Amino acid sequence: MPSSDSGSSFLLMAHANLMVTSCMAKRALIIGVTGQDGSYLTEFLLAKGYDVHGLMRRASLFNTDRVDHLYHDPHLAGAKLTLHYGDLTDGTALRRVLHTVDPDEVYNLGAQSHVKVSFDIPEYTAEVVAVGTLRLIEALRDHVMHRGRLVRYYQAGSSEMFGAAPPPQSERTPFYPRSPYGVSKAAAHWFAVNYREAYGLFICNGILFNHESPRRGETFVTRKVTRAVGRISQGLQDKLYLGNLEAQRDWGYAGDYVEAMWLMLQRERPDDYVIATGEAHSVRDFVQLAFAEAGLDWQRHVAVDDRYFRPTEVDALLGDARKARRLLGWQPQVTFVELIRMMVARDIDLARRELAVNQAGFADPARGAALAGGD
């Protein structure tokens, strides 16, 4: 992927920035702070001494579960995480938040991130993922021009941009997206490259392959499986309905991947990096290992349901992250088996709590029904 040729402006601004901020805590703005990656990145940056500001959407129910443990009452001294209302569909709010926070680093993790759902709501997906990114970097461009100081920006790109391109996929592999989500991420990627080259902005595209955790949304396949394993192990559920078991993915641990986002922004010049483990497994492998972890035979519980197939599938993703290893010194710590073990353990624990609540006479049957039928 091309990187900017206006390198000297980054260096000059980086130097000025360093002098101003050397004695102050750095400020990071995270769009999508309430998501899986947003929560791990917030933890990571707080541990590094950053003041973290997060953009969150207004929702009718609380949507801050993943960051509640990091949030302190802003009336108390020393609060390091500040939340702001905003939305990638609202350019005015994005400008206001950038102006208010005046960040050193911006991480754009906000997205309608479910591939299958993107076939159901393609316009909205493109509005948030593609146009939302454009809105944000337009606001960034003006902000940088007015403040005259360097702001480093991370764009959350995806292996879904490679889509049908045969594995292994690296920074040099041409994109061939297979869903409205993948097409929108590819558009966002090229907006980011164009703004880096046209305006000399410090923008990095991370091209991240699938990464999971116990905080993964419950309708992505790994978490859907481990939630079911937990509930089946406690007798709360019997069947799990899935779609394509043959798809291959390169699955890593989200906690490892947020470090790569940060490392990209610490380099002298902005660039694009593939982040992956370099190991691929099928959905079937994941299912078998997750059930075995709880001493269960998956074939007794799993059924295939056509409704979970996609109109166009991404068959095989396997990342070549040698550039990130060489230039960022990044490599994943958690193995595939360790990841499954961690997720299954957490979901058995959650299921035990659900069982205890049921046994105490406070059952919530609607919740179980929604889980069994998730995308």
Within positions 130 to 169, which residues make up the interface with ligand NDP, using CB under 6 A? 156, 158
157 three-class SS: strand
Interface residue with ligand NDP among 112, 179, 184, 237 (CB under 6 A) is 112
Nearer to ligand NDP, 9 or 89 (CB): 89
In angstroms, rounded to a whole number, what is the distance separating the alpha carbons of residues 139 and 103?
A: 13
List Cα–Cα distances, 18 to 23, 266, 328, 372, in angstroms: 9, 12, 20, 51
Which residue in 160, 259, 293, 354 is the catalytic one? 160
Q: Which of 24, 47, 59, 61 binds ligand NDP (CB under 6 A)?
A: 59
With 0-12 / 13-18 / 19 or more C-beta atoms within 10 angstroms meaning exposed / middle / buried, residue 344 is buried
Whether 60 sits among the annotated catalytic residues: the reply is no
213 is a site residue for ligand NDP (CB under 6 A): no
213's contact among ligand GDR, ligand NDP, none, with CB below 5 to 8 A by partner kind, is none
How far apart are the C-alpha atoms of 54 and 28, rounded to whole Å? Answer: 8
Which span (18-26, 57-65, 229-237, 331-339) binds ligand NDP, by CB under 6 A?
A: 57-65
Residues 278-295 as b or e (16 or more Cβ within 10 Å = b): bebbebbbbbbbbbebbe
Candidates 217, 243, 278, 374; binder of ligand NDP (CB under 6 A) is 217
Quick one: which of 176, 190, 199, 308 contacts ligand GDR (CB under 6 A)? 308
Per-residue mark of binding to ligand GDR, 224-263 (x: CB under 6 A): x-----------------xxx--x-x--------------
Instruction: For residue 293, state whether it binds ligand GDR (rule: CB under 6 A).
Output: no
Two tokens, residue 191: 């907006």
Residue type, 215: R
Q: Is 295 helix (H, G, I), strand (E, B) or coil?
A: coil
- Of ligand NDP, ligand GDR, none, which one sits near residue 252, judging by CB under 5 to 8 A according to partner kind? none
Residue 170 within binding range of ligand NDP, rule CB under 6 A: no
User: Is residue 171 near ligand NDP by the rule CB under 6 A?
Assistant: no
Q: Does 268 participate in catalysis according to the annotation?
A: no
Question: In this complex, which beta carbon is closest to ligand GDR, that of residue 1 or of residue 283?
Answer: 283
Q: Kindly write out the interface string for residues 53-82 of this chain, putting x where it contacts ligand GDR by CB under 6 A and - elsewhere.
A: ------------------------------
What six digits make up the tokens of 355?
């069982």
Residue at token pair 């309608």 = 112
Catalytic residue, chosen from 39, 158, 213, 233, is 158
In the complex, least distance from residue 19 CB atom to ligand GDR, rounded to whole angstroms: 38
Specify the stretch interacting with ligand NDP by CB under 6 A; choose among 76-84, 103-111, 281-289, 321-329.
103-111
Find the shortest distance in angstroms from Cβ 312 to ligand NDP: 18
Q: What distance in Å separates the CA atoms of residue 339 and residue 211, rounded to the nearest whole number?
A: 10
DSSP helix, strand, coil percent of the chain (3-state; round to 5): 45, 15, 40
Which residues from 184-213 bind ligand GDR, rule CB under 6 A? Answer: 209-210
Which of 354, 366, 287, 315 is CA-nearest to residue 166?
315
Conformation bin of residue 295: beta by default, left when phi > 0, alpha when psi is -120 to 50: left
318 binds ligand GDR (CB under 6 A): no
CB 223 within 8 A of CB 66: no
- Residue 160 designated active-site: yes
Looking at the annotation, which residues are catalytic? 158, 160, 181
